[in-house]
Amino acid sequence: MEFNKKKLAKSELIGLDVKIIKSENRFNKGIKGRIIDETKNMFVIKTKETRKKIIKNQCVFEFEEKNIKINGKSLSTRPEERIKQR
């Protein structure tokens, strides 16, 4: 099954590997890891060293398995509401 931005934005994101390619906070750029939790406004990303809480609205994410880039503003809804929008 081929994923595009629209399908990925409406699917479950926990467990996917992600990289931050742009961020308003310069310290977040380049963070790589696996999404372990998600709220309306944040991802919790497990990196090799620690866990990072990242604000979705401030970043552009690249989902590495799918090689898709998504602006965090389009992901800023509750996960359960976003998944129901199919």
Where do the structural domains in the chain lie, given as residue ranges? 5-84
Q: How far is CA 49 from CA 34, 55, 68, in A?
A: 12, 19, 25
Q: Is the dihedral of CA 19, 15, 48, 39 positive or negative?
A: positive
pLDDT higher at 83 or 28 = 28
At 86, is the pLDDT very low, low, confident or very high (cuts 50, 70, 90)? low
Taking domain 5-84, whether its CATH number is 2.30.30.210 is answered by: yes
The span from the CA of 17 to the CA of 43, in Å, is 12
For 7-60, write each residue's pLDDT tens digit.
Answer: 777 888 999 999 999 999 999 999 999 999 999 999 999 999 999 999 999 999
Q: Which helix (H) or strand (E) holds 8?
A: helix 5-9
What is the reported pLDDT for 1?
A: 38
The span from the CA of 18 to the CA of 83, in Å, is 19
